[in-house]
Amino acid sequence: MPELQYLIFIVIILALIFDFINGFHDTANAIATSVSTRALYPNHAIMLAATLNFVGAMVSTGVAKTIGGGIVSSASIIDEKTIIAALVGAITWNLFTWRIGLPSSSSHALIGGLIGAVLISAGMSGLNWLGIGKIFLGLIASPAIAFITGIIIMNIIFRLFDRFSPHFINDKFRRMQILSAAAIAFSNGSNDAQKSMGIITLALFSGGFIAEFEVPTYVKVLCATAMAIGTATGGWRIIKTVGGKIFKLEPPSGFAADLNSSCVVFGATLLNLPVSTTHVVSGSIMGVGTAKRVNAVRWGVAQQMVKAWGITIPITAVIGAATFGLIELIF
């Protein structure tokens, strides 16, 4: 029992570290467009994102239950060592991609780490393949949906405001971007922070510390706080990539990208689906850029990002599996 309590403590600490890193890693998703168009000063944008990430994280627990119960076939076959290995895999990849300024998915990293650790610890039967399929469908479909709806929203804006001068349009949309930045920050918190909630709740449930798979209030507060603090530290390397290297954003396109992203992410939250805010925001930016002109999008940068998305789950699965093997030797 003392060893179990010790391992549970490690799980909670690692999950909060993951949430903290997720906060500054994904800060770019909420504020990159508003900062790049100078709608908000960077410090103001970060505090806005941190506050609304916290509020968003407290609104529901549906995504947490999907992460905690949708990947493994049964909580009873998962122990704390498996969850620790999964978190190490996700944290390692997140730190690496943040260091090189490459937007990647914290969701993919966590899911990949968990899949790899479970495969080594419990075998193929330990995974809920139907649940994984549902999660993968949401992760893959969400950026594609964001791309298409981004084109639609940007075209609507073009039609509605083509009679006005660029100065008038930029001035109005720069102000509106404050609202759209708040919306994407809230939706980001509503989806992303729940992933760590699900992991901690899974550990507590499998260890017998809670009687049913319901996210305790203190877990929600801890995860929301960790993500908000992480967001408040900023993520400038990724902000530069998302905010300027994919497509040169202007206030109307920045507003369209944020509004579109917030709708897609929060829609996924209502469906209890974990999605990657990084992918959704990037898909939105590509969509609004394509609406203006196909060659306005820097497709070389976009291609590098897509490649990173594709290798995230395999790499984190390998790290998670290797970490579990090492933990087994130590303990």
In the predicted model, is pLDDT for residue 235 greater than 80? no
Average pLDDT over residues 48-75: 84
Q: pLDDT tens digits, residue range 277-300?
A: 878 888 898 899 899 888 878 777
Q: pLDDT tens digits, residue range 92-127?
A: 998 898 787 776 788 889 999 999 999 999 999 899
Separation of alpha carbons 197 and 24, rounded Å: 18
pLDDT tier for residue 322 given thresholds of 50, 70 and 90: very high
pLDDT at position 27: 63
Separation of alpha carbons 111 and 199, rounded Å: 10
Question: The tokens of 119 are what?
Answer: 């495969």
For 72, phi then psi, to 5°, come to: -95, 150
Average pLDDT over residues 75-84: 86
pLDDT at position 15: 93
Q: What percent of the chain has pLDDT above 70? A: 92
Q: What is the DSSP string of 150-201?
A: HHHHHHHHHHHHTTS-HHHHHHHHHHHHHHHHHHHHHHHHHHHHHHHHHHHH
Per the rule left: phi > 0, alpha: psi between -120 and 50, beta: everything else, 40 is beta
Question: The tokens of 216 are what?
Answer: 């305790």
Short-list 144, 81, 82, 65, CA closest to 118: 82
Short-list 105, 143, 126, 171, CA closest to 261: 143
Q: Which CA distances in Å does 214 have to 45, 202, 222?
A: 33, 9, 15
In the predicted model, is pLDDT for residue 244 greater than 60? no
pLDDT tier for residue 237 given thresholds of 50, 70 and 90: low
Secondary structure of 72-87 as H, E, C letters: ECCHHHCCHHHHHHHH
pLDDT tier for residue 303 given thresholds of 50, 70 and 90: confident
Whole-number average pLDDT of the chain: 85
In one-letter notation, the amino acid at residue 234 is G
pLDDT at position 238: 57
Average pLDDT over residues 235-247: 58
Separation of alpha carbons 79 and 207, rounded Å: 7
